[in-house]
Structure 1
């Protein structure tokens, strides 16, 4: 009885609430078995991004292989005037290139890459119930696109907090929220997800909108997604 009492004290009620929300989300997005099997994927998006006050078209291709591989390539203004930005993360090795020319990678930019990979892990949902370091907790309720939502806060050690908003009825992940930038006053960035579709055994959003400090900076739609057992190592190395 004493041990049970100690366990009840050690596990806050909001953690149980967070676990219930996450399990519902896992079921809504394809189920525990399917989501657990996927270690690697390739996603292609197209849309517009705000740069210097102008909306410019872009095509983005992102490859992720857990636990520590990331390649993100964005072609801005595709065509004869395009600019290609490539970001790479391969374990502790990182790189950034513009039109295949290496760029100086500051510690701030390196941290942003690490944060991006953590966000990818968190959004796969299963790590939230398997990785004790992520520590999801219930963070209240809200409204997304006029629909009631429940919020889970994730606090990876040494990293920025992430808030995940789940539709109360469907369980789907409809919004993420996290600070970006450096210095004493980072700004909050929100990503909204909609137009969910069945893609194989998964249910994914086909539409994404990014808002930073209250201003919309990106709109995109899903062009293609591929689920893989692995991705060749050379895809995460310098071009």
Structure 2
């Protein structure tokens, strides 16, 4: 093999194994999924850098979007599943879906859109959720942040229409009494498997039906002034 051929070979090899974030990926909903939720197995989004693009002639199918990874994938496989954040730019690019599932995507930050109604951001690396100030109430009713690394949830207090909130397997050590004060529609709350040492049941809204607080290492539980007439599961 000549020296020139060898150089070309190594350049081609480097190109084949380079960081896939330099490539524009285009996706369509998987066959048969669009009727229920546009399902996409691989996706790339790094704010300010390259991004995947969803190709859909009918924008109505983008009302529900599902992008889900899997922890069973081995490290040597180039999965093209890198989504650093769900922010306003990505929400607009995806034609503002009302329901999204970004599970097991290694996402670090979530910005709640003003028109989102269902959000599943479980099994990632989310450490912060941005809730921009708004003159109208957020319509979000379901929010799943299970298995992330959140240590502070105070800004979730503005999500007043939440009915289900899942915060299990995070890094919560304490919760402000004001967080749930305005969530008058909340019926399911899961804060189990965190690091919470003290809980006052007076901070929970009265419409709660299911409350999970187990595996927290609780040292103090205060039931005084609790008002949970609808509670069925604890």
Q: Same fold (TM over 0.5)?
A: no
Q: Which structure has more helix as a fraction of its residues?
A: 1
**Alignment TM-score, normalising by the size of structure 2:** 0.20
The structure with the larger Rg is 2
TM-score if structure 1 supplies the norm length? Answer: 0.20
**Higher share in strand:** 1
